[in-house]
Structure 1
């Protein structure tokens, strides 16, 4: 048998095998085909495609399926915002009302105004610092300033400022919440722009302990609570907390606070 004949036979065999496999694949694809709702594809098309998971689902496609199945809110994509929610509502046939946007707020004013217990040399990560003797800061509740939230933000909306505290750029922030989830000390919280009065502290230590390590920490003195005409601020477990529903932003608590830890935005 000549070499040419062998080559022809081999090519014919491979070609036949490829044809059989192709037919089998086509049959399998038809047999196991999963019917998808065309609305899901439409929703996927208008989503930003970040696949960041900030909506709480495994990417944009999964979110689209949940929205169409009414298992997820129409405004559940923080990256797309209200405009995307409105488009989703138009596809599904539901009206969407715009809610006030929330941004991360830093519940710590310490930074360089809070003493360091030791000089940390190691991985620039807040969790790593906290694992080492509860962190380098004199306050165990404070911000470590090592940029874990910065690296968690996929939109470059957070930076560490000169005070070694996070700073949020609202023009870039999508309120996805990934920075909140990444912070090991729960320093970040969502707050609306209309909520003007905030306590820049997260410490539940007693006043004497706070004053020993931080210039601007809440000492639980209750001066703010006693002077608020709206009963909108309470001290619980040595930390002042503002009831935003009652607060009228009169500014009295800001003026009276001896530690300057209450901020009027």
Structure 2
């Protein structure tokens, strides 16, 4: 008589279902695995990476695309609306080849005579301004055309160490990516040249009745003469100071050798 054999098989244990942890439990687990300082550190580095990517993309875009609007224009528009004044912005973008080289030379002679040579910064002028301001005298700036473009296109007006640091960063980018001619082209189109007026084309049409392409040397010098304070000085009704400064700029333009000085930007 044969023996009956029984094969005993192990049954797989029933899968236990565990409740989904609450948000508070997940938060406590997160705090145990990661310190708050580490979280802030990661957040900071992510913000830096996003800023670098976005800023680089903007600089690349504006190397080819006209800068139709700037933070300074927005600021002036908001001020005008708040004061109940006419808030229309006068601006007319023109390519560099359609702008008289007399006005290009005038702004270089007036604002930044080392523009063709430096790499965004005039350190001698900056040191001179620092010593002047340290003595408690009236605040004196030493911004190059490149720095002014970086500020006007990408940043806000005002004085702060944060803004100056960002200005230096954008200045380096546009010097590297745009080149001198593009920087000067943008400056000639976005610089504030009068009340609610931006760019030399808009100023020429508004105050002289013709395009910036046909600006004479004296007309160009007068536009450059008001640039330090375009809301205070007038191109159409120049004060004695503006007339004297215009004559000074004309002499500087002649001393630099004329339009040849900026022919190889």
TM-score by length of 2: 0.26
Higher strand residue share: 1
Higher relative contact order (CA 8 A, sep 6+): 2
TM-score by length of 1: 0.26
